[in-house]
Chains A and B, each alone.
Chain A
Amino acid sequence: MVKLALRNILRNRRRSLLSAFAIAVSAMSIILLLALVEGMEVDMRTNLIAYYTGEIRIRSSQYARYERYHPLHLSLDDEAITTVLERMDEVAETSGRISFPAALYRGDRSRPVLTMGFDFTRETAFSNLASILSEGRLPHDRSNELVMGAVLAKGLDITVGDRVTLLASTAAGSSNAMSFTVVGIVKPPIGSLSSSTLYLSLERAQHLLFMEGRVQELVVRSTGAVSLPALAGEIAALVAEELGIETETQAFSQLNEMYGFLRIAKYIYYVIALIFFLLGSTVIINTTMMVIFERMAEIGMMKALGMDDGKVRLLFLLEGAFISAAGALAGVLVGVLITAVLSRVGIDFTEAMSGIEMEVSSVLYPSITAFTAVAVYLYGVAIATLSTLIPTRRAARIQVVEALHYV
């Protein structure tokens, strides 16, 4: 049977090729689409973890409640908690941060900004600002220096070397202002960070805000051994037990709205995938129909010779299956290949991204997992094969007499 099917396919190479080609194109398209979405998800995850929340974020449990008021006094003991964290095997890196709103003054003009106090040494595992410095250098501890997002600097006409003054509400309930020298410009991949954020050394932020030794939040990177939400729970429990401190400790996926939204988008793309395959399948249907028409005589002959309907159907089904398998394989391979290339080069979306606030970079690198590739393959073969059933049902019902008419 199988041999018969294969022979039939090879007999009409052109036609088979066309059908296979249609399937291949569908498969390739799906791979590319999914790779793109996957790329976005990976990118967003990277950005969130680096610049916003780490893999796990620890805050005082009261902080969330009063978040509107930026209650800096609801802070955490950096050293105490870090010591506890370092003893945990699953914790790879930690970093303490303070983020606070401030007014940036230059003469009489002022403008609200978001300021982040980072320990740049510990941050190499997270935001690694050194890698996004476009000018100048990172601030030194104990020096009144800061770096600024590129878009913000441009908007305020500030260059490296300029002095600015920051006015902020402190953890002690007072206000405090300090002047800083801009020693560097950074270009975060995310537009909103570039347009509204400044970075100081954590030590300086603590000094400005009367928060010596304390931080607003701690971010954590794990070794990957345990699931992040589980690890978050462990950390919270351990800190509560050993230090008596109640925290709000969560994994990044639990913290960001957009990330969840992106996962929804993936589902939508799966639906699109289905439709693509259906489209490709119509070609097979057409081809198979024509084939049957052509081979009417042959079918009649086979039936006259005793082949039953089921076998006829099976034959055509096998033919369809082989074509689909070959086509889908080709398509998936080509798709994976293109993805591999693009994952090095990247697709530049800066044009489309301008004016859009999302924690996704402007240049995206598609990627695809082996699992997805295999899934797409099987999916494609299945759909395409099943779609051959429609014409073959007709074929099977052809009466011998009718068929012989075509001889």
Chain B
Amino acid sequence: MFLLRLAVKNLSRYTRRTIITAVAIAMGIAMYLAVDSMLLGAAEESERNLKWYETASLRVHTTAWWEDRLFLPLDEAIEEPQPILETIHALGYGAVSRTRFSAELILGWEEFGEDGYLPVEITAIGEDDGTVYRYGATLAEGRFFNAGEMDGIVLGSWLAEDIGATVGSSLIVSTRGKGGFFEAFDAQVVGLVNCPNPNVNRTLVMMDIQAADQYLGMKGAVTNIDILVPDREEVQSVQRTLSQALSSLDSSVIVLTWKDLAQDYLAIVSSKQGGSSLILFLIFIIAAVGISNTMLMAMYERGGEIAMMRAMGMEERRLWVSFLLEAALIGLLGSAIGMVLGALATLYMVEVGIDLSFMLRDLDMGFRIPSVMRGAWSLSSFIVAAVGGTVLSGMAAVIPVRRALKSPITTALVRL
């Protein structure tokens, strides 16, 4: 305890140097955390894009539907979704019903020109969809349809661009209902969605599930139930739990993870991870150098003082500990500041993200990229930073301290 106070006292004698070193470490740590967050975010982007906008964490289908899924067969829908929804809610997870079906958008020749029709996949959602998916934040224009709105549809913004549709455009949806009967109804584009998932932007057509239920003659049946599992929980184990819970309820359904579903979706590009470990390594080297330097200078300056303490009988080991503590404290201080800065940076990147569109404009690319890069939280990185920063600093001081304590007391005293 005494040693700790000693260390702190010593540090305060050289505040400027201490601060500068600590700040250097802080910046390094902050940068590591920021870059790590960014790389992790980019790597998670594809996962996130799927989970937030296409697959959710888990999905319930009937086994028959899953086998014929290329055809989106309404006949193999989940007939009684309510008990399943209740079971899942009781277990504490968000779940919503959705119905997916294939259709053709028929574009009025007056409004759209000659390209008359487009095969699409329509996703019908309910008002509670936001408990599992995150479309709410992605509305680019217009609005979402209301519950029960029979003719409102929302398109992905790139799809709309491709076909020349805007908010207010009317078109006809032609499809086949449950059983096989033909159905066609008028629809109006009420909103456009622009989300980080390019696949969604390119292909999304959404409508209200009650309207779909009526048009398709579903009578309450839905094609899938989508479930949100919080990040901290392991998806596979929830899958097992749910499968068990549901098998007694309805033996015709299966529970799939987003990974099972992901194979059928266009894989979204993401950048590699592993780059951040490299950066961390490099930063630590620099930090180590910084600490060594600081300690070296400290040792050099305080040569006389050290000698005095040794002369007065202070054990070498205690001296060691005291100096190492000094170094470690600098490291701790630096790490602490760095973590705060890093946390702020990560917070910004996770919630807001970095908008790259200014760069995109200059690069003059004719195609579209999701232009916001988002970060991700990684507790392990923060722990690594804190522990690493402190421990490494302590370690970096070893050599200079050793040199200082090796020299005979007499020569050191001369320095006084």
Contacts and interface: CB of A to CB of B under 8 A. Distances in A.
Whether chain A touches chain B in the assembled complex (some CB pair under 8 Å): yes
Contacts of A21: 289
Contacts of A264: 356, 359-360, 363
Interface residues of A, number: 47
A226 interface: no
Contacts of B286: 22, 25-26, 29, 276, 279-280, 283
Contacts of B278: 32-33, 36
B294 A22 contact: no
Given A33-B279, A279-B283, A267 B24 contact: no
Determine which residue in A33, A65, A267, A357 has the highest number of CB atoms from chain B within 10 A of its CB, and name it. Answer: A357
Nearest to B23: A282
Interface of B: 16-17, 20-21, 23-24, 27-28, 31, 35, 38, 43, 46, 70, 115, 118-119, 198, 267-275, 278-279, 282-283, 285-287, 289-290, 292-294, 296-297, 301, 356, 359-360, 363, 365-369
A345 interface: no
What 9 pairs between A and B have smallest CB-CB spacing?
A357-B267, A282-B24, A29-B282, A260-B365, A22-B289, A352-B274, A290-B297, A279-B286, A18-B293
Contacts of B273: 352
A360 B273 CA distance: 13
Interface in A1-58: 14-15, 18-19, 21-22, 25-26, 29, 32-33, 36, 40
A358 B297 CA distance: 49
Given A257-B269, A287-B297, 9 more contacts: A22-B286, A33-B275, A261-B269, A264-B359, A282-B290, A349-B274, A356-B46, A356-B272, A360-B272
Contact of B31 (A260, A265, A275): A275
A263 interface: yes
A68 B289 contact: no
A260 B362 CA distance: 11
Contacts of A275: 27, 31
B345 to A, nearest CB: 12
A349 B278 CA distance: 13
A263 B360 CA distance: 10
A33 B32 CA distance: 14
Contacts of B283: 276, 279
Contacts of A257: 198, 269, 365, 367-369
Contacts of B16: 289
Contact of A68 (B27, B28, B118, B368): B118
Contacts of B359: 264, 267
A392 to B, nearest CB: 15
B296 A14 contact: yes
Contact of A22 (B31, B119, B290): B290
A112 interface: yes
Main SS at interface, chain B = helix
B39 to A, nearest CB: 10
17 contacts: A18-B289, A18-B296, A19-B293, A22-B289, A264-B360, A265-B271, A267-B359, A268-B38, A272-B31, A276-B286, A285-B20, A286-B21, A286-B24, A287-B297, A353-B272, A357-B267, A358-B271
A171 interface: no
Determine which residue in B274, B286, B360 has the highest number of CB atoms from chain A within 10 A of its CB, and name it. Answer: B286
A272 B31 CA distance: 8
A353 B35 CA distance: 19
Interface in A282-309: 282-283, 285-287, 289-290
A341 interface: no
B259 to A, nearest CB: 8
A286 B282 CA distance: 20
Given A33-B278, A260-B363, A265-B271, A286 B356 contact: no
Contact of B24 (A18, A279, A358): A279
B271 A286 contact: no
Nearest to B290: A283
Contacts of B119: 68
B201 to A, nearest CB: 12
A227 to B, nearest CB: 14
Nearest to B366: A254
Contacts of A22: 286, 289-290, 293
Contacts of B356: 264
A192 interface: yes
B269 A278 contact: no
A260 B301 CA distance: 53
B31 A283 contact: no
Nearest to B292: A18
B270 A356 contact: yes
B369 A358 contact: no
A270 to B, nearest CB: 11
B290 A286 contact: yes
Nearest to A265: B271
Contacts of B21: 282, 286
Contacts of A279: 24, 27-28, 31, 283, 286-287, 290
A258 interface: yes
B70 A112 contact: yes
Nearest to B120: A68
A357 B17 contact: no
Contacts of A29: 279, 282, 285-286
Contact of B17 (A258, A261, A272, A286): A286
A261 B287 CA distance: 31
Given A279-B28, A356-B272, A289 B17 contact: yes
B17 A290 contact: yes
Contacts of A267: 359
